[in-house]
Amino acid sequence: MTRHPTDHPQFYLTAPAPCPYLEGKQERKVFTHLVGHGAPALNEVLTQGGFRRSQNIAYRPACENCQSCISIRVRAHDFKWTKSLKRVWKDGANIVGARLPASPSAEQYDLFRDYLLTRHEDGGMTEMSILDYAMMVEDTHVETLVLEYRRRGPDSFITGIGDGSLLGVALSDQLSDGLSMVYSFYDPAFKDTPLGTYMILDHIVRAQKMRLPYVYLGYWVDGSQKMAYKSRFKPQEHLGPNGWVVPVE
């Protein structure tokens, strides 16, 4: 029997490029394609091995003389609610996250553009067209979901869907052992509660209800202020030479 070529993934190494997190550093990545019937299983194994997904590509850092990027995941069932995180969750009680298929919309793209131009105007993603955005959302061969966050409406307790303008979007993968947050963005003008923090908390609560042990948050970069917020969600495990371990405080 002839086996599908994706049963034997090929890995590639990118050329050096300026690191977006640590000034003066160069980054390289090892990557492979997530396509075909074997993509979901491969995505599971690679995510558990520290890879991240972008469209149909799985990648992880492969930098010379630098191991600052550390894969982290939150232990959902043991999650510790600090006073500040409880306050964020309480302030977001009027927000509803609706789970939808991985399908893009013009409203999502408009919010995506506003977010990038306000928070990441120097990043490469600001050049993405609506077609590029659509590919980011729907070009997936794994179990991917979109969560749309809006204000709670009069029928939300029945429909599970919020009302009014779009406040935030999270693109996430569902794995057998957790939820992997691929990319999220939100209304930068919304001041009622920190939406970025709220969406992570919402994923942790969803994982608890789904009896999934982990929420994968991607990379925490030691020394990068951009990634400092991820350290708030504990307990978490870091992937190192001996596998996933709880870091020593």
Question: What pLDDT, in 10s, does the model give residues 2-22?
Answer: 344 446 789 999 999 998 888
- Which residues face 220 on adjacent strands? 70
Would you list the domain boundaries of the chain?
73-219
Which residues of the chain have a pLDDT value below 50?
Answer: 1-6
Q: What is the 3-state secondary structure (H, E, C) of the chain?
A: CCCCHHHCCCCEECCCEECCCCCCCEECEEEEECCCCCHHHHHHHHHHCCCEEECCEEEEECCCCCCCEEEEEEEHHHCCCCHHHHHHHHHCCCEEEEEEECCCCHHHHHHHHHHHHHHCCCCHHHHCCHHHHHHHHHCCCCCEEEEEEEECCCCHHHHCCCEEEEEEEEEEEEECCEEEEEEEEECCCCCCCCHHHHHHHHHHHHHHHCCCCEEEEEEEECCCHHHHHHHHCCCEEEEECCEEECCCC
Task: State the pLDDT at residue 153.
Answer: 85
Alpha-carbon gap, residue 141 to 87, rounded angstroms? 37
Could you tell me if 61 and 28 are in contact, meaning their C-beta atoms sit under 8 angstroms apart?
yes
Alpha-carbon gap, residue 219 to 216, rounded angstroms? 9
Task: State the pLDDT at residue 124.
Answer: 65
CA proximity to 203, closest of 233, 237, 228? 233
Could you tell me if 167 and 149 are in contact, meaning their C-beta atoms sit under 8 angstroms apart?
yes
Residue 35 CB neighbour total at 10 angstroms: 17
Residue 107 CB neighbour total at 10 angstroms: 12
Could you tell me if 151 and 192 are in contact, meaning their C-beta atoms sit under 8 angstroms apart?
no
CA proximity to 79, closest of 223, 179, 194, 224? 179
Task: State the pLDDT at residue 121.
Answer: 64
Task: State the pLDDT at residue 157.
Answer: 79
Task: State the pLDDT at residue 179.
Answer: 98
Q: Which CATH number fits domain 73-219: 3.30.1490.110, 2.130.10.10, 3.40.630.30, 3.40.50.10190?
A: 3.40.630.30
User: Residue 169, CB half-sphere, CA atoms under 13 Å: how many?
Assistant: 26
Could you tell me if 164 and 151 are in contact, meaning their C-beta atoms sit under 8 angstroms apart?
yes
Question: Whole-model pTM?
Answer: 0.91
Alpha-carbon gap, residue 147 to 201, rounded angstroms? 13
Two tokens, residue 39: 């993509």
